Amino acid sequence: MQKHRKMGVDYGDKRIGIALSDLLCIISSPYEVYQNRGEEDALKHLDKIIKDNDVDEVAFGLPLNMDGTEGDRAKLHRAFGEKLADYSGVKVHFIDERLTSAEAEDILISSGVRREKRKELIDKIAAQLILQTFIENLKGD
């Protein structure tokens, strides 16, 4: 049976954080922060990572309101995630990403990462947290 990786995406207008799982889908690791240069470019870039790393599912962060409803940002994220699914042919799962950026910042601060460096890392750490949440939910199925 062939093993596939999972990918986590923390989507943003300026930066897209990306994380990948190991082949056993136990651990998520930060992969990169991609400078978002527009929808078409971002779709091509993410699709290349999907193909190059044999990804079969994407955990896509969805910024819900604190009451759990979807606002305008969530609708934008959902629309892009659905385009990614159509473009790449992989299943995209939307994962509640409330507080992941704050959690990612806390992790970096507690690790002693300087403020300037945190900005570079926060998006891929947030993607890692989104992906880890997805992986842990897979184990529960």
CATH number at residue 129: 3.30.420.140
Q: Which residues, including other chains, have CB under 8 Å from residue 17's CB and lie 6 or more apart?
A: 8, 9, 10, 30, 32, 33, 34, 122, 123, 124, 125, 126, 127, 128
Task: Say what the pTM is.
Answer: 0.91
Amino acid identity, residue 134? F
Q: How many domains does the chain have?
A: 1
Residues, the chain: 141
Among positive and negative, which fits the CA dihedral 50, 129, 93, 72?
negative
Q: What pLDDT is recorded for position 118?
A: 83
Strands of 55-62's sheet, edge to edge? 28-35, 15-21, 5-10, 55-62, 91-96
Where in the sequence is the domain holding 88, given as residue range(s)? 5-140
Per-residue pLDDT of the chain (141 residues; tens, 9 = 90+): 568 999 999 999 999 999 999 999 999 999 999 999 999 999 999 999 999 999 999 999 999 888 889 999 999 999 999 999 999 999 999 999 887 877 888 888 888 888 888 888 889 999 999 999 999 988 765
